[in-house]
Amino acid sequence: MLIIPVIISILSLFFVGYLISWIQKCDMGTPKMQEIYKAIKNGADAFLKRQYKTIGLMTLFLAVVLFVVYALNDKWLIGMQTSLSFLFGALCSSLAGLVGMWISVRSNIRTASAAQTSFSKALTIALRGGAVSGITIVAMSLLGISGLYFIYSAFGYLPNEIPSLLVGFSFGASLVALFAQLGGGIYTKAADVGADLVGKIEKNIPEDDPRNPAVIADLVGDNVGDCAGRGADLFESTAAENVGAMILGVVLFPYFGINGILFPLVIRGFGLLCTIVGIMVAKAKETDDPLKALNKGYFVTCGLAAIAFYFVTMQMLNNILFFYAGLVGLAASIVFVFVTQYYTEHKYRPVQEIVKASATGHATNIIAGFAVGLECTAATVITIAAALLASFKLGVMTDLPSGGLYATAVATMGMLSTAGYVLAMDTFGPITDNAGGIVEMSGASEEVRLITDKLDSAGNTTKALTKGYAMGSAALAAFLLFSAYFEEAKLTVVNFARVEVFVAGLLGAMLVFFFSSLAIRAVGKAAGKIVEEVRRQFKADSGLMAGTSTPDYAKCVDITTKSALQEMIWPGLLAVVLPIVVGVLFKAEAEAGFIMTATIVGVLLATVFNNSGGAWDNAKKFIEMGNFGGKGGDAHKASVTGDTVGDPFKDTAGPSLHVLVKLLGTLSLALVALFI
Amino acid sequence: MLIIPVIISILSLFFVGYLISWIQKCDMGTPKMQEIYKAIKNGADAFLKRQYKTIGLMTLFLAVVLFVVYALNDKWLIGMQTSLSFLFGALCSSLAGLVGMWISVRSNIRTASAAQTSFSKALTIALRGGAVSGITIVAMSLLGISGLYFIYSAFGYLPNEIPSLLVGFSFGASLVALFAQLGGGIYTKAADVGADLVGKIEKNIPEDDPRNPAVIADLVGDNVGDCAGRGADLFESTAAENVGAMILGVVLFPYFGINGILFPLVIRGFGLLCTIVGIMVAKAKETDDPLKALNKGYFVTCGLAAIAFYFVTMQMLNNILFFYAGLVGLAASIVFVFVTQYYTEHKYRPVQEIVKASATGHATNIIAGFAVGLECTAATVITIAAALLASFKLGVMTDLPSGGLYATAVATMGMLSTAGYVLAMDTFGPITDNAGGIVEMSGASEEVRLITDKLDSAGNTTKALTKGYAMGSAALAAFLLFSAYFEEAKLTVVNFARVEVFVAGLLGAMLVFFFSSLAIRAVGKAAGKIVEEVRRQFKADSGLMAGTSTPDYAKCVDITTKSALQEMIWPGLLAVVLPIVVGVLFKAEAEAGFIMTATIVGVLLATVFNNSGGAWDNAKKFIEMGNFGGKGGDAHKASVTGDTVGDPFKDTAGPSLHVLVKLLGTLSLALVALFI
């Protein structure tokens, strides 16, 4: 059975190879564009090199700590295995991030170049660039887990023993993802906010204007945050979810045998095939709405995934009720997409409320946006609750012991079967954003800009949608990981009436708030340094404003790199150290309480951050279309404030919380031996 | 034993009578001041009349529903008892609100008048006005509970049966408090924001300028929100905490007999005596810092409370460990005061960060303030966790069964023994705020304004401190109520690995976020209507700006009243209906999960709202002292944005969450029969 996901993954990587060679053959545009491309590439490479050095050192250190702690408890073998799986997971996650950035840097410039001649071609390049990232991530996660499975089998472990041995892998992946997403998220928003504060507000020059010394740092940010960071993040998600579901499969080992354990891998393999078809059918005519093409591909993927789900479920689990549970998950993912759309698109009531509030000033804009963010938690929670209850009920109806729990795992798999496509849409966002920046900076004509603006606006929507999807799947997966932790820790209850558990719960909720505070402040601090540098450059050389001399882009890139790396350390360490301390001091049951509240609060607060940020962004865009006085009016100024506040919310704190929630799940699983 | 709190309460009410006659004898100032006083009084009376009519109808309706639901389950007697206690609690809570407002309206004008001649006299009037409110509330709560206790005893109930019968009382009090605080909170901030948006920003006239048509509504708001609303809120707190502790006392009935049950009432009675002494010693010389005088009274109260605690504990519980637990609570309350001070006073790093961020614009001011709010949850949670763990540990050392739990109750009593004084300091805030408004509007001289400004600034600090104290005590009390719920529902665990409990937990967290969203949006909507009316008046009559004609204050008051009452309905109903629905659908264990996460999230989010709001406010004040360009500069404009955003945070959403958390505790206790 394991051969199926392996073969599909390898085939998918061949397909990725085809996509890459196709993209590489595309035109690289004017010399001016190539010059900008090189600057972006160098900046991104330099950041990633330094970032991964820091992350690598921390990972190594933690691997040694892991081993030593286990060894001190006389668990040499499990310590060795956990440390090695941990390192392997960390390596794969880093690779996923690197691939994400490698391809996005190369697709940006080609999308920009294609936009000079054809909207349709530009869209295809950007989506295929995204697909390289999305498919590679899912395939690598499947290969990594299958590979470890093979190795452990070869060492004589039984199929029902192996899943618990894989948690080190997903913990390693989570750890790298946390720092990659934090560092990248701080980088991208510090550069963005820093560039805007001086450029747009003080100097009154447009976004992506080549006179702004921070503009290259801003473009680099899209690549290191939205591509590399998100790549590691989503690699970790797929790994954690697979391992969690496999552990629950062990519970049903007496009934399904190895099928229950390998089901998650097989179904995701088929999901990859569906994604490939979806990517190939997503094409647009010259006059089409880009979202129409992207949606077409998405719904094709969903439809095929549903069919594949039916056959795989009937073949491996032979119970139609599990198929229904999978459909529940798939349906929930579609609902998440629509909920996010409702809360972040300008057509609907929430963004319109923010727009209207902008007319009465900065403060009312902020109040309205924040209220929208708080409000949208209701729809999110109701969807998660409905999906969990419905799939659990279906599982209970199978009359298998723990059938309900396993059915929630199947629902999670249903939701995640389209992950590859969703990842492709996600990476589509920063690629088109960068392409727009390159076009703007290279001084291309108005029509070309119109094309990239159209793509960029679609990219903003897909980015928001992915966040909704990612958050929803994080919630389901968290329940999965939590249940798996229960199995591993041999817990039967988490009793919140015990004072240690209650206190741990308080601390878990606190971690989420405090971590968010650190992440947001990090952006503020790093942005402050950039503002100083940009102001310095404008002051030192009056030729900058006139456009007669070139700013020192590299200096800004360097400052952003340094401060983003510095600022990512504390929140990252806090997220790793606090749960360990709580677990060691208060033991397994309190740790469960800690993770539980941290997860619930994390999911909700991330939803607030993501959706309020998206809504503020689109409220500004709606005003910029010429409503309520259009660009430069008072309402516009207020909406820019909201957009700027939303930046660290939606691109630093929100995505980092998403990783944090999953990290807590994998960390507790990997270190459960310490908490008993 | 019960006779002690009853006698002390009656004596305290005599003392209150003395304070009232002392205040009534003070001078009522110039005819101009009296004219303003009348406008405020009429507006406040009109609002309260309509508000309590709405609340009364809802209370009656709910009492009938309560009775019918119990009757349908064939529990006629308990249904009747619960409904009647519920109505009695609601009545007392309403009275507490009315007393708070009655005295504050009368103290405002006399404080304003006294400020013309003596700073010391003005301070004394304001503090004694606050003390009338604080002492009455605590005394009424003791009398109400003792009275019910007498009645139930007369009907032949045993001492260990009575505490559970009292929960209807605290539920009724909570319900009224929720609507009073919500309605009042929406009123006060809608009027404040509405007045500022047109007055300060569009028309560039100072705060409390008589030319602003919304200025009387703003002053009315301080009375109905900060005095009437907070009065009902804190009445409910004291009632809920007493009843919760008494229920835990039942657990120790075999050891302490009736002493364990009556201990909370007796210790709070002595707390009242300490408060009276504290109030009498808090006096200032003409040149003193007002905070010095207030602090002197506070520390005297704390010291006396510690001594009283020793004697009462040794007498009634005869175990020094419980005395230590009480000291832990008292110490925690002092720590909360310092933490709030650190996060909201301009001397310290957090506010300074916001001040600096204001120099780079509106957006960075908001980001910095929000980050400060998120950050301060750490200190709050650590204090709560330490207090709970330490007192629990002390209780475990007594070797009594459930000794740990009872010790946390004793710690809560320790924290609350100074409640009367803290309430007096809290009400001191709106009284001085209003006095400042009256002085400004009556065109008094610069020196008089300096005095009221000094008092107002101290009032802002005490208001912030009380919120920190209230939130900390809410967290401890929530654990108390939660433990009492456990006893009543005969639960032994809350297992978050059950899907219904997990889902209920998600819904509990959601309630807090969604409720906050509704509360914040309510302020926005109501403020929008006021802005329209104020603009209309300025447009219709150009004599307004010139100061030659008088604005139609009553119209603004009327609009604010209507919209605040309208907007309080939905969030209020949500807070009552959702926990009932969850409990009925998913039963007692899931309800516990719901309350647990809602409590944790509610405490943290309220802390974020209260402290970020306070920090923004003081950042603005610091800039207005002439720093960073002072009033009218760009940094000041940015800081005004933060202050305006903070208004609904700290005065509507935060305090309402505080009531919500307690309401959930009392609601679950009162309706536990439905969830089993």
Burial class (CB in 10 A: 0-12, 13-18, 19+), A348: middle
Q: Taking residues B432-452, report their average pLDDT.
A: 89
Alpha-carbon span B468 to B612, nearest angstrom? 12
Q: Taking residues B493-518, report their average pLDDT.
A: 91
Residue A164 confidence class, pLDDT cut points 50, 70, 90: confident
Kindly identify which residue of chain A lies nearest to residue B612, measuring between CA atoms.
Answer: A517
Distance from CA of B20 to the nearest CA of A (A): 40
pLDDT greater at residue B135 or residue A248: B135
Judged by CB atoms closer than 8 Å, whether chains meet at A499 and B523 is answered as no
Which residue in B186, B200, B374, B650 has the most chain A C-beta atoms within 10 A of its own C-beta, making it the best mutation to test that interface?
B374
Phi, psi of B367 (to 5 degrees): -60, -45
Judged by CB atoms closer than 8 Å, whether chains meet at B362 and A364 is answered as no
Residue B469 confidence class, pLDDT cut points 50, 70, 90: confident
Q: What is the pLDDT of residues B547-567, one digit of tens each?
A: 888 888 889 998 999 999 899
Evaluate if residue A199 carries a pLDDT over 80. yes
Chain-centroid distance of CA A392 in Å reads 27
Q: Which helix (H) or strand (E) holds A515?
A: helix A499-540
CA distances from B184 to A8, A511, B217, B603 (A): 63, 33, 12, 20
- Which residues in B475-633 belong to E strands, given as ranges? none
Residue B11: count of CB within 10 angstroms of its CB: 15
Per-residue confidence (pLDDT) for residue B82, from 0 to 100: 87
Alpha-carbon span A142 to A139, nearest angstrom? 5
Residues linked to residue A495 through DSSP beta bridges, in sequence order: B495
Partners of residue B371 in chain A, C-beta under 8 Å: 517, 520-521, 524
Per-residue confidence (pLDDT) for residue B458, from 0 to 100: 87
Task: Look up residue A504 and give its DSSP letter.
Answer: H
Distance from CA of A502 to the nearest CA of B (A): 8
Evaluate if residue A353 carries a pLDDT over 90. yes
Residue B173 confidence class, pLDDT cut points 50, 70, 90: very high
- The single-letter code of the amino acid at A551 is P
Residue A547 confidence class, pLDDT cut points 50, 70, 90: confident
Residue A432 confidence class, pLDDT cut points 50, 70, 90: very high
Distance from CA of A497 to the nearest CA of B (A): 6
Per-residue confidence (pLDDT) for residue B310, from 0 to 100: 96
Alpha-carbon span B141 to B3, nearest angstrom? 15
Residue A550: count of CB within 10 angstroms of its CB: 12
Candidate from B201, B404, B496 with C-beta closest to A499: B404
Query: pLDDT averaged over chain B?
Result: 90
Candidate from A381, A503, A514 with C-beta closest to B389: A503
Q: What is the pLDDT of residues A554-608, one digit of tens each?
A: 899 989 999 998 998 899 999 999 999 999 999 999 999 999 899 999 999 999 9
Q: Taking residues B262-274, report their average pLDDT.
A: 93
* Interacting residues of A74 by C-beta distance below 8 A, sequence separation 6+: none
Chain-centroid distance of CA B498 in Å reads 35
Partners of residue B385 in chain A, C-beta under 8 Å: 503, 506-507
Judged by CB atoms closer than 8 Å, whether chains meet at B364 and A527 is answered as yes
Q: Which helix (H) or strand (E) holds A630?
A: none
Kindly identify which residue of chain B lies nearest to residue A522, measuring between CA atoms.
Answer: B371
Q: What is the pLDDT of residues A245-285, one digit of tens each?
A: 888 888 788 888 888 889 999 999 999 999 999 999 998 88
Residue A89 confidence class, pLDDT cut points 50, 70, 90: very high
Q: What is the pLDDT of residues B317-367, one digit of tens each?
A: 889 999 999 999 999 999 998 898 899 888 899 999 999 999 888 999 999
Evaluate if residue A383 carries a pLDDT over 90. yes
Q: Taking residues A453-480, report their average pLDDT.
A: 84
- The single-letter code of the amino acid at B197 is L
Q: What is the pLDDT of residues B198-243, one digit of tens each?
A: 887 788 888 888 889 999 999 899 888 888 888 888 888 888 888 8
Residue A493 confidence class, pLDDT cut points 50, 70, 90: confident
Q: Please write down the HEC assignment for all residues of B510-538.
A: HHHHHHHHHHHHHHHHHHHHHHHHHHHHH
* Interacting residues of A40 by C-beta distance below 8 A, sequence separation 6+: A105, A108, A216, A219, A220, A223, A434, A438
Q: Taking residues B72-89, report their average pLDDT.
A: 88
Q: Please write down the HEC assignment for all residues of B304-370.
A: HHHHHHHHHHHHHCCCHHHHHHHHHHHHHHHHHHHHHHHHHCCCCHHHHHHHHHHCCCHHHHHHHHH
B647: tokens are 């208004």
Q: Taking residues A411-415, report their average pLDDT.
A: 91
Task: Look up residue B173 and give its DSSP letter.
Answer: H
- Smallest CA-to-CA distance from A78 within A591, A577, A670 is with A670
Phi, psi of A253 (to 5 degrees): -50, -45
3-state secondary structure of A635: helix
Residue A202 confidence class, pLDDT cut points 50, 70, 90: confident
Q: Which helix (H) or strand (E) holds B269?
A: helix B258-281
Q: What is the pLDDT of residues A324-342, one digit of tens each?
A: 999 999 999 999 988 988 9
Q: Give the number of residues written for chain A.
A: 676
Per-residue confidence (pLDDT) for residue A676, from 0 to 100: 81
Q: Taking residues B414-428, report their average pLDDT.
A: 90
How crowded is the C-beta side of A220, counted as CA atoms within 13 Å? 33
CB distance B83 to B66 below 8 Å: yes
Per-residue confidence (pLDDT) for residue B309, from 0 to 100: 94
Evaluate if residue A87 carries a pLDDT over 80. yes
Evaluate if residue A201 carries a pLDDT over 80. no
Q: What percent of chain B has pLDDT over 70?
A: 100
Q: What is the pLDDT of residues B103-112, one digit of tens each?
A: 999 999 999 9
Per-residue confidence (pLDDT) for residue A666, from 0 to 100: 87
Query: pLDDT averaged over chain A?
Result: 90
Alpha helices in A155-229, H assignment, sequence order: 162-165, 167-196, 215-221
Q: Which residue has the tokens 């805030």?
A: B429
Q: Taking residues A162-191, report their average pLDDT.
A: 91
A291: tokens are 């979202």
Among A159-173, A491-505, B369-383, B545-559, top mean pLDDT goes to: B369-383
Evaluate if residue B525 carries a pLDDT over 90. no
Alpha-carbon span A189 to A175, nearest angstrom? 21
Phi, psi of A355 (to 5 degrees): -60, -50
Per-residue confidence (pLDDT) for residue B147, from 0 to 100: 92
Provide the b/e sequence for A50-59 (b: ≥16 CB within 10 Å).
bbbebbbebb
CB distance A246 to A296 below 8 Å: no
